[in-house]
Amino acid sequence: MNMKNSVTAVLVLIATAGAYGQLQVNPQLGVTFQNLTDTPENAEYKANVGFLLGVDARIGDAFYLQPGAFFGRNATTISYIVPVTDPNNPGATTETVIEDDLVRSILKLRAMLGYKIVNEESFKLRFAVGPSYDVLLSVDNQDDKIEWNKGDFNDGSFNLEAGLGFDLAIVTIEPGVAFGLSKVFNDNPTVQDIDSKYFTFYFTAGIVLGNGQ
């Protein structure tokens, strides 16, 4: 996916909706907890705290389109059990745990479809579902104990997302989940057999600006 074209498409959707007057823009900040599925042998994944910052838009009334773009930093703690040979007793081995925080920077582009279950002036309850694409910007191993780098990962990940939103006047909050549909790792020989996908829980809060019902 061409990142420049994807961002342009999101901006065109928002601009087109503004011409019809049914547009709300929602700057948001939130936290993420991203884990990986299908743990390799002798390893363990554990979701850590990351963050999400960006904006989405709601185009329409009770039914609405919700495109958005976000910058995120997702963190997952990875633990490996490694056998260690005793130098004083070559026939004896013990196990030690190597742990590292794997941090990934992404640009998230999404286009969700939503419905306002409750659509009162001062309170709204919303549900939205749809696809997203996470463009991988960088990969950091916080403690440099595990030698995975950006070259071991696919350039992006398609996801299916679902969120339940609440609007109180101009304040909006939304917990949600993203289910990864793409493999995390690419075909490099050291990681090609790892079938992990992303699973992310997020919680965002922001404000509602603009026209709409």
State the CATH number of the domain containing residue 30: 2.40.160.20
- Whether residue 35 lies inside any domain: the answer is yes
- Whether residue 89 lies inside any domain: the answer is yes
- Whether residue 198 lies inside any domain: the answer is yes
Instruction: Give rounded-to-5 percent helix, strand, coil for the chain.
Output: 10, 65, 25
- Whether residue 112 lies inside any domain: the answer is yes
- Whether residue 6 lies inside any domain: the answer is no
- Whether residue 3 lies inside any domain: the answer is no
Domain that includes residue 107, residue range: 22-210
Main-chain phi, psi angles of 9, to 5 degrees: -60, -40
pTM metric for this prediction: 0.80
Digit-by-digit pLDDT tens for the chain (213 residues) are 555 555 565 555 555 544 455 789 999 999 999 999 988 777 888 999 999 999 999 999 899 999 999 999 999 988 877 666 666 666 665 556 677 888 999 999 999 999 999 999 889 999 999 999 999 999 887 666 677 778 888 999 999 999 999 999 999 999 999 999 999 988 887 788 888 899 999 999 999 998 665
- Whether residue 58 lies inside any domain: the answer is yes
Q: How many domains does the chain have?
A: 1
